[in-house]
Homo-oligomer: A and B are copies of this chain.
Amino acid sequence: MKLSNGVEWSLHSCVTLSQSSGAVSAQRLAELHQIPPAYLAKHLQALSRANIVSSVHGQIGGYRLARPPEAISLLDVVDAIDGGEALYRCMEIRQRGPLGLAPESCARPCAVARAMRTAEDAWRNALSSTSVADLAVAIDEDSGGTAMADVRRWLKA
């Protein structure tokens, strides 16, 4: 089981967008990260549908963040790209077979599903506690404080 690469690209793209005042085209974002432009565009569409970025058509069009970067969590992006469905989906096999339970006695989720759900909630909770703004700060600090300035400069060029 692997998370889509689109998650990584989307997160880096969001960080980049957080440094831009204007709209940035998918073409240009793809150029910055050296990734297939059309495929990145597909993922940006998903972000647009999830109201994480807003798109603007036309010659000077592109994408911009729909909200302040502090208000966009990693969970928002992961759910937008991945569909927001649970990693573990209970097939209710407890209702099948010779010892199968009757559906009316299955009001509560299966104990296995509950445990998996609890773990997944821990994951989602951790994801939602970090924002795109936090990422930008962390990346900038890793570079000694030059990375985000470089991005802003490159965006203007």
Taking beta carbons and an 8 Å cutoff, which residues of A are in contact with B? 1-5, 7-9, 11-12, 15, 31-35, 74, 82-83, 85, 87-91, 93-94, 96-101, 105, 108, 110-112, 114-116, 118-120, 122-127, 130, 134-135, 138-139, 142-143, 147, 150-151, 154
Contacts and interface: CB of A to CB of B under 8 A. Distances in A.
A133 B130 CA distance: 34
A122 B118 CA distance: 11
20 contacts: A1-B1, A1-B82, A1-B83, A3-B89, A5-B91, A7-B88, A31-B97, A32-B98, A32-B99, A33-B97, A74-B115, A99-B147, A99-B150, A111-B139, A112-B139, A115-B127, A115-B135, A119-B126, A122-B122, A123-B126
A74 B34 contact: no
Contacts of A8: 88, 90-91, 93, 112
Contacts of A4: 1
Contacts of A7: 88
Contacts of A147: 99
